[in-house]
Structure 1
Amino acid sequence: MPALRYCEPRDAVVPTSDAATDCDLCGAFTTATAAPRSPFAAGDILFHQGDAVRLVYRVLRGAVISYRLLSDGRRQVTGFHLPGDYLGLEAGVEHATTAEALCHVDALAMERTDLAARAVTDIGLARALWQVTVRAFRRSEDHALILARQGATERVAAFLLDFAQRLGDAVTIDLPMTRQDIADHVGLTIHTVSRTLSQLQAQGMIEARSSRQVRLLQRQRLEWLCA
Protein backbone atom coordinates (compact mmCIF):
# COMPACT_ATOMS: atom_id res chain seq x y z
CA MET A 1 0.00 0.00 0.00
CA PRO A 2 1.49 3.39 -0.91
CA ALA A 3 2.27 5.91 1.78
CA LEU A 4 -0.18 8.71 2.43
CA ARG A 5 1.49 12.11 2.56
CA TYR A 6 0.04 15.12 4.34
CA CYS A 7 2.64 17.78 3.67
CA GLU A 8 2.09 18.18 -0.05
CA PRO A 9 -0.63 20.38 -1.60
CA ARG A 10 -1.85 17.66 -3.95
CA ASP A 11 -3.32 15.63 -1.11
CA ALA A 12 -7.04 16.02 -0.65
CA VAL A 13 -7.66 12.70 1.07
CA VAL A 14 -9.61 12.88 4.32
CA PRO A 15 -8.71 9.79 6.37
CA THR A 16 -9.86 10.80 9.83
CA SER A 17 -13.46 11.93 9.40
CA ASP A 18 -16.72 10.10 8.86
CA ALA A 19 -17.99 11.86 5.72
CA ALA A 20 -21.55 10.68 6.23
CA THR A 21 -21.85 12.17 9.69
CA ASP A 22 -19.81 15.31 9.03
CA CYS A 23 -21.59 16.51 5.86
CA ASP A 24 -23.68 19.06 7.75
CA LEU A 25 -20.61 20.41 9.51
CA CYS A 26 -18.59 20.49 6.28
CA GLY A 27 -21.42 22.38 4.64
CA ALA A 28 -21.37 25.01 7.37
CA PHE A 29 -17.67 25.66 6.73
CA THR A 30 -17.97 25.85 2.97
CA THR A 31 -20.76 28.43 3.21
CA ALA A 32 -19.11 30.56 5.91
CA THR A 33 -18.23 34.05 4.66
CA ALA A 34 -16.71 35.75 7.72
CA ALA A 35 -13.53 33.64 7.77
CA PRO A 36 -12.40 32.36 4.34
CA ARG A 37 -9.93 29.58 3.54
CA SER A 38 -6.64 30.19 5.33
CA PRO A 39 -3.31 28.75 4.06
CA PHE A 40 -0.52 28.33 6.63
CA ALA A 41 3.19 27.71 6.09
CA ALA A 42 5.22 25.32 8.24
CA GLY A 43 5.71 26.89 11.66
CA ASP A 44 2.74 29.26 11.38
CA ILE A 45 0.55 29.45 14.47
CA LEU A 46 -3.19 28.98 14.06
CA PHE A 47 -3.78 30.04 17.66
CA HIS A 48 -1.83 30.31 20.90
CA GLN A 49 -2.50 28.74 24.26
CA GLY A 50 -4.51 31.29 26.26
CA ASP A 51 -5.90 33.11 23.21
CA ALA A 52 -9.61 33.79 23.19
CA VAL A 53 -11.41 31.18 21.12
CA ARG A 54 -12.73 32.95 18.02
CA LEU A 55 -12.31 30.64 15.03
CA VAL A 56 -12.93 26.96 14.42
CA TYR A 57 -10.77 25.30 11.76
CA ARG A 58 -11.27 22.31 9.50
CA VAL A 59 -7.99 20.94 8.14
CA LEU A 60 -8.09 20.23 4.40
CA ARG A 61 -4.42 19.47 3.67
CA GLY A 62 -1.28 19.17 5.74
CA ALA A 63 -0.88 18.43 9.43
CA VAL A 64 -1.16 20.52 12.59
CA ILE A 65 0.40 19.84 15.98
CA SER A 66 -1.24 21.00 19.20
CA TYR A 67 0.75 21.38 22.40
CA ARG A 68 0.61 22.83 25.88
CA LEU A 69 3.50 24.60 27.59
CA LEU A 70 3.74 23.54 31.22
CA SER A 71 4.72 25.80 34.11
CA ASP A 72 8.21 24.27 34.27
CA GLY A 73 8.86 25.07 30.61
CA ARG A 74 8.29 21.58 29.26
CA ARG A 75 6.12 20.99 26.21
CA GLN A 76 3.32 18.44 26.16
CA VAL A 77 2.10 17.53 22.69
CA THR A 78 -1.61 16.81 22.97
CA GLY A 79 -2.35 15.79 19.41
CA PHE A 80 -1.67 15.73 15.68
CA HIS A 81 -4.46 16.94 13.41
CA LEU A 82 -4.82 15.60 9.88
CA PRO A 83 -7.14 16.35 6.94
CA GLY A 84 -10.74 16.16 8.08
CA ASP A 85 -9.94 17.10 11.68
CA TYR A 86 -11.34 20.16 13.46
CA LEU A 87 -9.57 22.57 15.80
CA GLY A 88 -11.07 25.15 18.12
CA LEU A 89 -14.15 23.22 19.27
CA GLU A 90 -13.33 23.83 22.91
CA ALA A 91 -15.68 24.19 25.83
CA GLY A 92 -13.86 27.14 27.38
CA VAL A 93 -13.45 30.70 26.18
CA GLU A 94 -9.65 30.36 25.87
CA HIS A 95 -7.54 27.91 23.89
CA ALA A 96 -6.00 25.28 26.15
CA THR A 97 -3.23 24.57 23.61
CA THR A 98 -1.19 26.14 20.85
CA ALA A 99 -1.84 24.88 17.31
CA GLU A 100 1.07 25.03 14.84
CA ALA A 101 1.32 23.97 11.21
CA LEU A 102 3.83 21.14 10.71
CA CYS A 103 3.99 21.81 6.95
CA HIS A 104 1.91 23.66 4.39
CA VAL A 105 -1.64 23.56 5.69
CA ASP A 106 -4.87 24.46 3.95
CA ALA A 107 -7.80 24.94 6.29
CA LEU A 108 -11.27 26.38 6.33
CA ALA A 109 -12.07 28.71 9.21
CA MET A 110 -15.38 29.78 10.68
CA GLU A 111 -16.38 32.09 13.50
CA ARG A 112 -17.31 29.96 16.51
CA THR A 113 -20.22 32.27 17.35
CA ASP A 114 -21.59 31.79 13.83
CA LEU A 115 -21.24 28.01 14.09
CA ALA A 116 -22.99 27.96 17.46
CA ALA A 117 -25.82 30.14 16.20
CA ARG A 118 -26.44 27.86 13.22
CA ALA A 119 -26.43 24.76 15.42
CA VAL A 120 -29.32 26.18 17.47
CA THR A 121 -31.71 25.85 14.52
CA ASP A 122 -29.99 23.11 12.48
CA ILE A 123 -30.48 19.68 14.06
CA GLY A 124 -28.17 17.97 11.56
CA LEU A 125 -25.37 20.43 12.32
CA ALA A 126 -25.88 20.06 16.07
CA ARG A 127 -25.67 16.27 15.71
CA ALA A 128 -22.50 16.52 13.64
CA LEU A 129 -20.90 18.82 16.24
CA TRP A 130 -21.74 16.32 18.97
CA GLN A 131 -20.23 13.44 16.97
CA VAL A 132 -17.04 15.37 16.27
CA THR A 133 -16.78 16.25 19.96
CA VAL A 134 -17.20 12.60 20.93
CA ARG A 135 -14.45 11.59 18.50
CA ALA A 136 -12.13 14.22 19.97
CA PHE A 137 -12.87 12.93 23.47
CA ARG A 138 -12.08 9.37 22.39
CA ARG A 139 -8.79 10.53 20.89
CA SER A 140 -7.96 12.18 24.20
CA GLU A 141 -8.72 8.92 25.97
CA ASP A 142 -6.52 7.01 23.51
CA HIS A 143 -3.68 9.44 24.21
CA ALA A 144 -4.12 8.95 27.92
CA LEU A 145 -3.89 5.18 27.40
CA ILE A 146 -0.61 5.61 25.53
CA LEU A 147 0.80 7.69 28.38
CA ALA A 148 -0.40 5.10 30.89
CA ARG A 149 1.73 2.39 29.30
CA GLN A 150 4.82 1.82 31.42
CA GLY A 151 7.34 0.75 28.78
CA ALA A 152 8.82 2.84 25.99
CA THR A 153 8.33 0.00 23.50
CA GLU A 154 4.61 -0.19 24.25
CA ARG A 155 4.19 3.58 23.95
CA VAL A 156 5.97 3.86 20.62
CA ALA A 157 4.22 0.79 19.20
CA ALA A 158 0.84 2.14 20.30
CA PHE A 159 1.59 5.50 18.68
CA LEU A 160 2.56 3.89 15.36
CA LEU A 161 -0.52 1.67 15.32
CA ASP A 162 -2.82 4.56 16.17
CA PHE A 163 -1.34 6.78 13.46
CA ALA A 164 -1.53 4.00 10.88
CA GLN A 165 -5.19 3.46 11.78
CA ARG A 166 -5.91 7.14 11.26
CA LEU A 167 -4.47 6.77 7.77
CA GLY A 168 -6.89 3.99 6.92
CA ASP A 169 -4.72 1.15 8.30
CA ALA A 170 -1.80 2.13 6.08
CA VAL A 171 1.23 -0.16 5.99
CA THR A 172 3.72 2.57 5.11
CA ILE A 173 3.22 5.82 6.97
CA ASP A 174 4.84 9.18 6.37
CA LEU A 175 5.14 10.99 9.67
CA PRO A 176 4.66 14.76 9.37
CA MET A 177 6.12 15.29 12.85
CA THR A 178 9.70 15.08 14.14
CA ARG A 179 10.90 12.46 16.59
CA GLN A 180 11.02 15.22 19.22
CA ASP A 181 7.32 15.84 18.57
CA ILE A 182 6.63 12.13 19.04
CA ALA A 183 8.69 12.10 22.23
CA ASP A 184 6.75 15.03 23.65
CA HIS A 185 3.52 13.25 22.73
CA VAL A 186 4.25 9.88 24.33
CA GLY A 187 6.13 11.23 27.35
CA LEU A 188 9.62 10.00 26.45
CA THR A 189 12.95 11.56 25.50
CA ILE A 190 13.92 11.83 21.84
CA HIS A 191 16.82 9.44 22.48
CA THR A 192 14.44 6.84 23.90
CA VAL A 193 12.10 7.16 20.92
CA SER A 194 14.98 6.79 18.45
CA ARG A 195 16.41 3.81 20.35
CA THR A 196 12.99 2.15 20.53
CA LEU A 197 12.40 2.56 16.80
CA SER A 198 15.81 1.02 16.16
CA GLN A 199 14.97 -1.92 18.44
CA LEU A 200 11.62 -2.50 16.70
CA GLN A 201 13.42 -2.46 13.38
CA ALA A 202 16.11 -4.88 14.60
CA GLN A 203 13.33 -7.23 15.72
CA GLY A 204 11.78 -7.13 12.25
CA MET A 205 8.52 -5.45 13.30
CA ILE A 206 9.05 -2.19 11.41
CA GLU A 207 11.28 -0.74 8.74
CA ALA A 208 12.35 2.84 9.40
CA ARG A 209 13.10 3.92 5.83
CA SER A 210 13.96 7.43 7.02
CA SER A 211 13.39 9.60 10.07
CA ARG A 212 9.93 10.42 8.70
CA GLN A 213 8.82 7.18 7.04
CA VAL A 214 8.01 3.90 8.78
CA ARG A 215 6.73 0.66 7.30
CA LEU A 216 4.83 -1.70 9.61
CA LEU A 217 6.10 -5.17 8.78
CA GLN A 218 4.51 -7.21 11.57
CA ARG A 219 1.40 -5.40 12.74
CA GLN A 220 0.19 -8.35 14.82
CA ARG A 221 3.39 -8.42 16.88
CA LEU A 222 3.08 -4.68 17.45
CA GLU A 223 -0.50 -5.21 18.61
CA TRP A 224 0.64 -7.95 21.00
CA LEU A 225 3.09 -5.50 22.54
CA CYS A 226 0.19 -3.18 23.33
CA ALA A 227 -2.19 -5.88 24.59
Structure 2
Amino acid sequence: MPALRICEITDQPIPTPREETPDCHLCAVFANASAAPRSPFAPGEHLFRQGDPVRLVYRVLKGAVVSYRLLSDGRRQVTGFHLPGDFVGLEAGVEHATTAEALSAVHASAIERVELAERAVTDIGLARALWQITVRAFQRSEDHALILARQGATERVVAFLLDFAARQGHPEFIDLPMTRQDIADHVGLTIHTVSRTLSQLQTAGLIEARSTRHVRLLQRDRLDGICA
Protein backbone atom coordinates (compact mmCIF):
# COMPACT_ATOMS: atom_id res chain seq x y z
CA MET A 1 0.00 0.00 0.00
CA PRO A 2 1.50 3.39 -0.95
CA ALA A 3 2.33 5.76 1.90
CA LEU A 4 -0.33 8.25 0.81
CA ARG A 5 -3.63 7.02 2.20
CA ILE A 6 -6.98 7.78 0.60
CA CYS A 7 -10.00 7.44 2.89
CA GLU A 8 -11.01 3.80 3.15
CA ILE A 9 -14.14 2.52 1.42
CA THR A 10 -16.84 1.49 3.87
CA ASP A 11 -20.58 1.06 3.88
CA GLN A 12 -20.88 3.82 6.47
CA PRO A 13 -21.16 7.57 5.83
CA ILE A 14 -17.79 9.22 5.27
CA PRO A 15 -16.62 11.30 8.28
CA THR A 16 -16.92 15.05 8.18
CA PRO A 17 -13.83 16.94 6.98
CA ARG A 18 -12.73 17.66 10.57
CA GLU A 19 -12.53 13.92 11.25
CA GLU A 20 -10.48 13.12 8.14
CA THR A 21 -6.77 12.51 8.37
CA PRO A 22 -4.48 15.37 7.26
CA ASP A 23 -2.89 13.29 4.49
CA CYS A 24 -6.22 12.69 2.77
CA HIS A 25 -5.43 15.40 0.23
CA LEU A 26 -8.20 14.65 -2.22
CA CYS A 27 -10.80 14.48 0.54
CA ALA A 28 -9.67 17.87 1.85
CA VAL A 29 -9.90 19.40 -1.62
CA PHE A 30 -13.49 18.21 -1.97
CA ALA A 31 -14.32 19.59 1.47
CA ASN A 32 -13.14 23.04 0.40
CA ALA A 33 -14.34 22.97 -3.21
CA SER A 34 -16.26 25.87 -4.66
CA ALA A 35 -19.00 23.52 -5.91
CA ALA A 36 -21.51 23.06 -3.09
CA PRO A 37 -22.40 19.52 -1.94
CA ARG A 38 -25.34 18.15 -3.86
CA SER A 39 -28.67 17.42 -2.25
CA PRO A 40 -29.35 13.66 -2.35
CA PHE A 41 -29.66 12.05 -5.76
CA ALA A 42 -32.83 9.98 -5.80
CA PRO A 43 -32.64 6.30 -6.82
CA GLY A 44 -32.50 6.19 -10.61
CA GLU A 45 -31.31 9.81 -10.93
CA HIS A 46 -28.23 10.41 -13.08
CA LEU A 47 -25.13 12.14 -11.83
CA PHE A 48 -24.16 12.43 -15.49
CA ARG A 49 -24.86 10.65 -18.77
CA GLN A 50 -22.67 9.03 -21.38
CA GLY A 51 -21.59 11.72 -23.83
CA ASP A 52 -22.15 14.64 -21.43
CA PRO A 53 -19.28 17.13 -21.17
CA VAL A 54 -17.09 16.38 -18.16
CA ARG A 55 -17.60 19.24 -15.72
CA LEU A 56 -17.85 17.87 -12.17
CA VAL A 57 -16.05 15.12 -10.30
CA TYR A 58 -18.07 13.55 -7.48
CA ARG A 59 -17.13 11.94 -4.20
CA VAL A 60 -19.75 9.51 -2.91
CA LEU A 61 -20.50 10.17 0.75
CA LYS A 62 -23.43 7.82 1.24
CA GLY A 63 -25.31 5.37 -0.97
CA ALA A 64 -24.18 3.55 -4.10
CA VAL A 65 -23.78 4.46 -7.77
CA VAL A 66 -23.67 2.25 -10.84
CA SER A 67 -21.75 3.25 -13.96
CA TYR A 68 -22.59 1.74 -17.32
CA ARG A 69 -22.05 2.12 -21.02
CA LEU A 70 -24.71 1.70 -23.70
CA LEU A 71 -23.33 -0.27 -26.63
CA SER A 72 -24.18 0.36 -30.28
CA ASP A 73 -26.52 -2.63 -30.36
CA GLY A 74 -28.54 -1.30 -27.42
CA ARG A 75 -27.06 -3.60 -24.79
CA ARG A 76 -25.95 -2.19 -21.45
CA GLN A 77 -22.53 -2.96 -20.00
CA VAL A 78 -22.15 -2.17 -16.30
CA THR A 79 -18.57 -1.04 -15.79
CA GLY A 80 -18.59 -0.58 -12.03
CA PHE A 81 -20.30 0.04 -8.72
CA HIS A 82 -19.23 3.00 -6.58
CA LEU A 83 -19.50 2.97 -2.79
CA PRO A 84 -18.92 5.62 -0.09
CA GLY A 85 -15.42 6.97 -0.46
CA ASP A 86 -15.29 6.39 -4.22
CA PHE A 87 -14.76 9.14 -6.78
CA VAL A 88 -16.98 9.25 -9.86
CA GLY A 89 -16.41 11.15 -13.07
CA LEU A 90 -12.63 11.45 -12.84
CA GLU A 91 -11.97 11.03 -16.56
CA ALA A 92 -9.29 12.17 -18.98
CA GLY A 93 -11.58 12.87 -21.95
CA VAL A 94 -13.81 15.87 -22.53
CA GLU A 95 -16.96 13.71 -22.52
CA HIS A 96 -18.15 11.07 -20.07
CA ALA A 97 -17.56 7.56 -21.41
CA THR A 98 -20.24 6.13 -19.12
CA THR A 99 -23.51 7.03 -17.40
CA ALA A 100 -23.50 7.24 -13.59
CA GLU A 101 -26.84 6.46 -11.91
CA ALA A 102 -27.82 6.42 -8.23
CA LEU A 103 -28.80 2.95 -7.01
CA SER A 104 -30.13 4.36 -3.76
CA ALA A 105 -30.39 7.80 -2.21
CA VAL A 106 -26.89 9.13 -2.85
CA HIS A 107 -25.18 11.96 -1.02
CA ALA A 108 -22.17 13.32 -2.88
CA SER A 109 -19.86 16.30 -2.84
CA ALA A 110 -18.54 17.75 -6.07
CA ILE A 111 -15.69 19.78 -7.49
CA GLU A 112 -15.19 21.36 -10.89
CA ARG A 113 -12.68 19.31 -12.86
CA VAL A 114 -10.95 22.51 -13.97
CA GLU A 115 -10.52 23.56 -10.34
CA LEU A 116 -9.19 20.13 -9.42
CA ALA A 117 -6.65 20.23 -12.25
CA GLU A 118 -5.52 23.74 -11.35
CA ARG A 119 -4.95 22.80 -7.71
CA ALA A 120 -2.99 19.67 -8.68
CA VAL A 121 -0.44 21.82 -10.56
CA THR A 122 0.82 23.38 -7.31
CA ASP A 123 -0.17 20.69 -4.77
CA ILE A 124 2.15 17.68 -5.01
CA GLY A 125 0.14 15.74 -2.45
CA LEU A 126 -3.03 16.21 -4.47
CA ALA A 127 -1.26 15.18 -7.67
CA ARG A 128 -0.06 11.98 -5.97
CA ALA A 129 -3.56 11.29 -4.66
CA LEU A 130 -5.03 11.69 -8.13
CA TRP A 131 -2.38 9.33 -9.49
CA GLN A 132 -3.29 6.76 -6.83
CA ILE A 133 -7.00 7.03 -7.64
CA THR A 134 -6.20 6.56 -11.34
CA VAL A 135 -4.16 3.44 -10.56
CA ARG A 136 -6.98 2.04 -8.45
CA ALA A 137 -9.48 2.65 -11.24
CA PHE A 138 -7.18 0.83 -13.66
CA GLN A 139 -6.83 -2.08 -11.26
CA ARG A 140 -10.61 -2.32 -10.90
CA SER A 141 -10.94 -2.37 -14.68
CA GLU A 142 -8.44 -5.22 -14.80
CA ASP A 143 -10.37 -7.09 -12.10
CA HIS A 144 -13.57 -6.65 -14.09
CA ALA A 145 -11.86 -7.93 -17.22
CA LEU A 146 -10.73 -11.01 -15.29
CA ILE A 147 -14.32 -11.69 -14.23
CA LEU A 148 -15.50 -11.44 -17.83
CA ALA A 149 -12.67 -13.73 -18.94
CA ARG A 150 -13.93 -16.56 -16.76
CA GLN A 151 -15.80 -19.12 -18.83
CA GLY A 152 -18.31 -20.49 -16.33
CA ALA A 153 -21.30 -18.64 -14.92
CA THR A 154 -20.54 -19.96 -11.43
CA GLU A 155 -17.00 -18.59 -11.57
CA ARG A 156 -18.21 -15.17 -12.71
CA VAL A 157 -20.90 -14.85 -10.04
CA VAL A 158 -18.64 -16.09 -7.25
CA ALA A 159 -15.82 -13.79 -8.37
CA PHE A 160 -18.25 -10.87 -8.25
CA LEU A 161 -19.49 -11.75 -4.75
CA LEU A 162 -15.95 -12.16 -3.39
CA ASP A 163 -14.79 -8.94 -4.99
CA PHE A 164 -17.72 -6.99 -3.59
CA ALA A 165 -17.18 -8.54 -0.15
CA ALA A 166 -13.50 -7.54 -0.31
CA ARG A 167 -14.46 -3.94 -0.95
CA GLN A 168 -16.56 -4.02 2.23
CA GLY A 169 -13.83 -5.54 4.38
CA HIS A 170 -14.60 -9.26 3.82
CA PRO A 171 -17.76 -9.49 5.95
CA GLU A 172 -19.78 -12.69 6.23
CA PHE A 173 -22.96 -10.83 5.31
CA ILE A 174 -22.94 -8.53 2.28
CA ASP A 175 -25.63 -6.08 1.23
CA LEU A 176 -25.97 -5.71 -2.51
CA PRO A 177 -27.29 -2.27 -3.48
CA MET A 178 -27.69 -3.37 -7.09
CA THR A 179 -30.36 -5.52 -8.77
CA ARG A 180 -29.67 -8.92 -10.27
CA GLN A 181 -30.03 -7.30 -13.68
CA ASP A 182 -27.20 -4.93 -12.73
CA ILE A 183 -25.08 -7.90 -11.70
CA ALA A 184 -25.91 -9.71 -14.94
CA ASP A 185 -24.91 -6.68 -17.01
CA HIS A 186 -21.67 -6.46 -15.04
CA VAL A 187 -20.56 -10.09 -15.36
CA GLY A 188 -21.80 -10.59 -18.93
CA LEU A 189 -24.63 -13.03 -18.18
CA THR A 190 -28.43 -12.99 -18.40
CA ILE A 191 -30.49 -12.25 -15.32
CA HIS A 192 -31.91 -15.78 -15.47
CA THR A 193 -28.41 -17.27 -15.39
CA VAL A 194 -27.41 -15.11 -12.43
CA SER A 195 -30.55 -16.06 -10.50
CA ARG A 196 -30.08 -19.76 -11.31
CA THR A 197 -26.41 -19.65 -10.30
CA LEU A 198 -27.21 -17.99 -6.96
CA SER A 199 -29.85 -20.66 -6.32
CA GLN A 200 -27.34 -23.41 -7.12
CA LEU A 201 -24.76 -21.89 -4.78
CA GLN A 202 -27.37 -21.76 -2.03
CA THR A 203 -28.42 -25.37 -2.64
CA ALA A 204 -24.76 -26.39 -2.39
CA GLY A 205 -24.52 -24.67 0.98
CA LEU A 206 -21.95 -22.12 -0.19
CA ILE A 207 -24.11 -19.03 0.31
CA GLU A 208 -27.39 -18.07 1.93
CA ALA A 209 -29.44 -15.63 -0.11
CA ARG A 210 -31.74 -14.15 2.50
CA SER A 211 -33.26 -11.91 -0.18
CA THR A 212 -32.27 -10.58 -3.58
CA ARG A 213 -30.14 -7.93 -1.86
CA HIS A 214 -28.69 -9.75 1.16
CA VAL A 215 -26.21 -12.62 0.81
CA ARG A 216 -24.32 -14.56 3.45
CA LEU A 217 -21.04 -16.15 2.39
CA LEU A 218 -20.94 -19.50 4.21
CA GLN A 219 -17.93 -21.47 2.97
CA ARG A 220 -15.31 -18.91 1.99
CA ASP A 221 -12.59 -21.49 1.32
CA ARG A 222 -14.74 -23.36 -1.18
CA LEU A 223 -15.84 -20.09 -2.78
CA ASP A 224 -12.21 -19.02 -3.10
CA GLY A 225 -11.44 -22.42 -4.63
CA ILE A 226 -14.01 -21.88 -7.37
CA CYS A 227 -12.10 -18.82 -8.56
CA ALA A 228 -8.63 -20.23 -8.03
Aligned partners of 1:23, 1:114: CA distance in 2, in Å?
Answer: 18
- In structure 2, the partner of 1:176 is 177
Q: AA paired with 1:197? A: L
**Count of aligned pairs between the two proteins:** 215
Residues 104-152 of structure 1: CA deviation (Å, up to 9, x unaligned)? 0000000000000000000000000000110011000000000000000
Contact 1:35 1:111 in 2 (8 A): no
Q: Which has the higher contact order (CA 8 A, sep 6+)?
A: 1
Residue 55 of structure 2 is matched in structure 1 by 54
- For 1:191, the equivalent position in structure 2 comes to 192
Answering whether residue 209 of structure 2 is matched by residue 211 of structure 1, we say no
Question: Paired residue for 1:94?
Answer: 95
Match of 2:73 in 1: 72
Looking at structure 2, the residues matched to 133 and 20 of structure 1 have their Cα atoms a distance apart, in angstroms, of 21
> How much does 1:21 deviate?
9.5
Instruction: Give 2:155's aligned residue.
Output: 154
Percent identity reads 77
- CA positional deviation for 1:35: 3.8
Q: Secondary structure at the match of 1:51?
A: coil
Asked whether the equivalents of residues 47 and 100 of structure 1 are also in contact (C-alpha less than 8 Å), the reply is: yes
Summarize the Cα distance change of 1:190–1:224 in structure 2 as closer, same or farther, 3 Å threshold: same
Instruction: Tell me what 1:34 maps to.
Output: 35
CA–CA distance in structure 2, aligned partners of residues 52 and 137 of structure 1:
22
Q: Secondary structure at the match of 1:40?
A: coil
Counterpart in 2 of 1:138? 139
Q: Aligned letter for 1:101?
A: A
1:118 aligns with 2:119: yes
Would you identify which runs of 4 or more consecutive aligned residues in structure 1 move more than 4 Å?
Answer: 19-22
> Does residue 1:107 correspond to 2:111, yes or no?
no
Q: Give the root-mean-square deviation of aligned CA atoms.
A: 1.6
* Unmatched segments (≥5 aa) in structure 1: none
> Whole-Å Cα distance in 2 between the matches of residues 124 and 177 of structure 1?
34
Give the TM-score normalised by the residue count of structure 1: 0.91
Give TM-score, length-normalised by structure 2. 0.91
Aligned to 1:109, the other structure's residue is in SS state strand
